[in-house]
A = this chain, B = another copy of it.
Amino acid sequence: MLSLLVAALLQSAAPAVPPAPAATPADPLPEDWVAIPDDEVMVITLANGGTVSVRLAPAMAPVHVANIRALVGAHWWDATSIYRVQDNYVAQWGDATEKKPLPPGITLRPPAEYDRPGTSAVARLGRRDPYADWAGYSRDGWPLAGNFQSEWMPHCYGMVGVGRDMAPDTGSGAELYVAIGHGPRALDRNVALVGRVVEGIERVSVLPRGTGDLGFYKTEGERVPIATVRLASEIPAASRPRYEYRRTDNPRFTAWIAGRENRQPPFFVVPAGGADICNAMPPVRRGAAAQ
């Protein structure tokens, strides 16, 4: 069998692992975990009761995230659906009828928040990325890719983006998708990414693939109903989920990167000497209190 160890080494970003008695240079200190604000967490509750939590990225796509917060505030996604699931690509949700009016206060034509000037990464991977000159991490736990002039978030598994039609349309934010296969990185800098699923992605990735073109469900009955979408700040404190990101601007995280780039014996015989940003996503874990 594929060993337990390899999967543990490879897969988990180890957020749930308590500090080991014998600390390694990659082990986080307690202060490396920082609460994610409650109004930065969007909780999707499916009609079957399952929940999916998305961390929003207001600093990366401020107008789109403002739209999303307004849509959540109006409870606009309540009683909508996941209407498209395409294997090794995306699951997409919103108003499948395309007739539901948007609430007031929505910017209908947001700017193209696909990238931003400058390079704010505080930690980087060692090798060049196939889609960018570098890949790395923001201080507050977002994956980044970039060149010498600008940076953007990469389309990795679990990243959430804004559906749109042909350019220069950028999408209002009412139709969202999440990547559920190999990161569709060609979308980088072509679509606005607005966040990342931090818990519950497996409630989406298992959904039946749509048999219509591009994974759209052919009939209304196949759609997966969404009960509610709320910001965590709207959810009563007793049942509110809370999350923490791991800071990236410290030598523990640098050691963590090195560990992702060079897996160790006894399972691994050849360390790669590099890693793909989508296989080295910055850790997020459940937290005790959000702020």
Contact = CB atoms under 8 A, between A and B. Distances in A.
Contact of A213 (B4, B177, B187): B4
Contacts of A188: 270, 272
Interface string A273-290: 111101100000000000
Nearest to A4: B214
A175 B267 contact: no
A186 B267 CA distance: 11
Given A4-B214, A8-B214, A201-B88, A156 B182 contact: yes
A186 B87 contact: no
B182 A89 contact: no
A173 B94 CA distance: 44
Interface residues of A, number: 76
Contacts of A90: 2, 7
Contacts of A279: 182-186
B163 A274 contact: no
Given A10-B89, A205-B88, A265 B186 contact: no
A184 B165 CA distance: 32
Contacts of A89: 7, 10-11
A149 interface: no
Contact of A10 (B164, B184, B268, B275): B184
A87 B201 contact: yes
Q: Which 4 A-B pairs have the closest CB atoms?
A: A2-B163, A189-B270, A7-B214, A87-B202
